[in-house]
A and B are shown apart, each in its own frame.
Chain A
Amino acid sequence: MAIKILSVDDEVDLELLLTQYFRRKIRKGEYEFFFAHNGLEALQVLLQHPDIDIILSDINMPEMDGLTMLTKINEMRNPALKCIMVSAYGDMDNIRHAMNNGAFDFATKPIDLDDLQVTIDKAIEQITYIRSAQKEHKQLVDIQGDLSVAREIQKAILPRNFTLKMPDEGGVEISASMNAAKDVGGDFYDFFKIDDERFAFTIADVSGKGVPAAIFMAVSRTLIKATGMQGVPSAECMCKANDMLSGESVDNMFVTVFYGVYNAKTGVIDFTNAGHNPPYVLHNDGSVEALPVAGNIVLGAFEGLPFTSGSITLQPGETLYMFTDGVTEAENMNHEQFGEAYLKSSLEQLKGASPKDIIADIEQKVKAFAGEAPQSDDVTQLVIKRK
């Protein structure tokens, strides 16, 4: 596109001089010239052609002088519009005044056109740079907009209604929360009814954060749910989901998953832990016990691996507390971690608390612990209490 130059001078001779000197550039469509004879006219031309790039203006003119015009142009706040001021040789006061008022550069009369060419080239270089920065800025703003939409979508796919559509709501109280460190996160929780007797639940953490993790999270959640809904044992669900995810995994992304199938009649949980932090069981006497480390590998790493399941029975009043490492690895300003020990002792003080209260309490403790330190990882909790 042609560079649009507005020349402002009350001496008409200059028009001829410029069009003559730059005729090749004009013919090739590189430059396009506009002319005005005082500041007021110049502003009118600028209104009609807001895409003018460079203004080449005399300082001493009737009606509105160059310095007044410069002030008006500065009010437009367009960093991609450059003004080159022209004044008599030795008119240093006006030139300094112009430079201090945001002129890009100056030329002295009689104009050395070769030198002016260099100045124009320099201005074009800056304009091009500013334009591309403005374009990138706009793209970033657009992406930010997309991200906040993605955040809403991600929130919407996690269940927020904590009642199961089962007889007596499955005989349990459930609560969960997910706070992403970035706009979108890689953590998720899920729970869904299998039949009138059983429901399944998941807590998971995808490697990494941000958009790639969020996409992998959506895929993982869907695969696990679709497999789990068929009512297969937990180990088989993890095995199938792992085979499918290993096939899909780009860049060796993986997901740590704790998946369980709860029997509402017996309180028995058939669970498989695929590389996830072991959950805690809150017993009725206030003691807190971590489930043993399973030794299963994360999902998405290697195809065709077997998974070992375990089984526990939740007694009435007992609670299963599941979390992601965003809780235990939350850091304060000194890079100290929240840690398993503090989590366990916090849970020990929550004897008899409801899942909702447990989540609120731990969330608050994590926040208080981190203090001013930025949240470095998604913080997710899923809590199930047998009534």
Chain B
Amino acid sequence: MYICRQLLFIKIIPVETVMDSTTNHDNMELIIKNEGDTITGVLSGRLDTAASTQFATDMQPLVDNAGKHIVLDCNKLEFISSSGLRLFLTLRKAATAKGGDITITGMNADIRQVFTITGFFPLFKFV
């Protein structure tokens, strides 16, 4: 059996220029992979208030495809502010409206705690 995975597009968007090249702290990046009926967003860096404006634009392909299975790979997500949480809520509402679902993978304990405190935890499927 031969499975063909078509990579429709890959988008790499640096949100802010990195002042200190040895650390990646101020850099928020979203890579979107569209594979069949699953669309994956790989988040890395710090989703703070400053980065969230650009992230809102960058995540538009995910919102547009919210009827599919969305996977948010948060292995490299370091921090999330309330402005960042708002964008997760935006995506969640789009998924509800279009009949899709969202799975979050690899989220670190600190950010998971933020999801727990704010009551966002039950809104997503965590792996």
User: Could you list which residues of chain A lie within 8 angstroms of chain B, going by C-beta atoms?
Assistant: 186, 205-209, 251-254, 256, 274-278, 293-298, 301, 325, 329, 335, 376-377
Say whether B125 faces chain A, with CB atoms less than 8 Å apart: no
Q: Would you list 30 pairs from A and B whose C-beta atoms are within 8 A, ordered by A residue?
A: A205-B82, A206-B82, A207-B85, A208-B49, A208-B83, A208-B86, A209-B83, A252-B86, A252-B87, A252-B90, A252-B93, A253-B86, A254-B85, A254-B86, A254-B89, A275-B119, A276-B117, A277-B117, A293-B117, A295-B116, A295-B122, A297-B119, A298-B120, A301-B119, A335-B23, A335-B25, A335-B46, A335-B79, A377-B49, A377-B81
User: Could you list which residues of chain B lie within 8 angstroms of chain A, going by C-beta atoms?
Assistant: 23, 25, 46, 48-49, 52, 79, 81-83, 85-87, 89-90, 93, 116-123
B82 touches A207 (CB 8 A): yes
Other than the given A251-B90, A252-B93, A275-B118, 18 more pairs (CB < 8 A) read: A206-B82, A207-B82, A208-B52, A209-B49, A252-B87, A253-B86, A254-B86, A254-B89, A256-B82, A275-B117, A275-B120, A295-B116, A295-B119, A298-B118, A298-B120, A301-B89, A325-B82, A377-B49
Tell which of B25, B46, B86, B93 touches A207, judged by Cβ atoms closer than 8 Å.
B86
CA distance A209 to B53 in the complex (A): 12
Which residues of chain A have C-beta atoms less than 8 A from B81's C-beta? Answer: 329, 377
B83 touches A293 (CB 8 A): no
Please give the distance in Å from B83's CB to the nearest CB on chain A: 5
Which residues of chain B have C-beta atoms less than 8 A from A335's C-beta? Answer: 23, 25, 46, 79
CA distance A277 to B119 in the complex (A): 11
> B89 — nearest CB in chain A belongs to which residue?
A252
Which residues of chain A have C-beta atoms less than 8 A from B121's C-beta? Answer: 295
> A273 — nearest CB in chain B belongs to which residue?
B117
* A207, A298, A376 interface centre (most CB from chain B within 10 Å): A207
Which residues of chain B have C-beta atoms less than 8 A from A254's C-beta? Answer: 82, 85-86, 89
Which residues of chain B have C-beta atoms less than 8 A from A298's C-beta? Answer: 118-120
Which residues of chain B have C-beta atoms less than 8 A from A297's C-beta? Answer: 118-120, 123
Which residues of chain A have C-beta atoms less than 8 A from B25's C-beta? Answer: 335
B83 touches A207 (CB 8 A): yes
Known contacts A295-B119, A298-B118; is-contact A376 B82 (Cβ 8 Å): no
* B48, B85, B116, B120 interface centre (most CB from chain A within 10 Å): B85
* A256, A276, A298, A325 interface centre (most CB from chain B within 10 Å): A298
A296 touches B119 (CB 8 A): yes
A376 touches B86 (CB 8 A): no
Please give the distance in Å from A334's CB to the nearest CB on chain B: 9
B120 touches A208 (CB 8 A): no
Which residues of chain B have C-beta atoms less than 8 A from A207's C-beta? Answer: 82-83, 85-86
A376 touches B119 (CB 8 A): no
A293 touches B116 (CB 8 A): yes
B118 touches A376 (CB 8 A): no
CA distance A177 to B91 in the complex (A): 34
